[in-house]
Amino acid sequence: MNTDTREKFFNALLRRPSTAKQARGILERQRVSDEDAERLIREAEDLGLIDDEAFAKLFVDGHLSWGNLKIAHELSVRGVSREAISTALDEAQDEAERASELVGSWRKGGIEDRKIISRLMSRGFTNKSVFSAAK
């Protein structure tokens, strides 16, 4: 493996936080061998450039207008473990509170309740949170 490949990989990680799974995708596109890819990923993890738990927390914080179901799905697709997802969601603002805030804002905007419920459901809020917030 040449130093140019390593530099490109680390630059990509510095530009955009990534999970280990996403990092593997970057290396696959660069046609890096599996052995070299694992070595680079371990090095990036040791340097703190790849941290699935931190990624999950940042992702949750950046998607508070989404429900827990959608957030969990999107993190899972990105290769984050169930444990890391659960921890990040546990540390975030309560889903029902987030739904209530959205409902209040949308009602002020004149949106009908049935559309509000539909929006919340499409954003991955649980039925319990949706109907609790829409009361």
Are residue 88 and residue 102 in the same domain, yes or no? no
Nearest in space to 75 (alpha carbons), one of 37, 25, 86, 9: 86
Are residue 69 and residue 32 in the same domain, yes or no? no
Sign of the CA dihedral with 100 first, then 81, 26, and 39 last = positive
The structural domain count of the chain equals 3
Are residue 56 and residue 74 in the same domain, yes or no? yes
For range 83-101, the mean pLDDT = 96
Q: How confident is the model at residue 135 (pLDDT cuts 50, 70, 90)?
A: confident
pLDDT score recorded for residue 2: 74
Residue indicated by tokens 């970057």: 26
Residue 133's domain comprises 94-135
pLDDT score recorded for residue 73: 98
pLDDT digits (tens, 9 = 90+) for 24-67: 999 999 999 999 999 999 999 999 999 999 999 999 999 999 99
Average pLDDT, the chain: 95
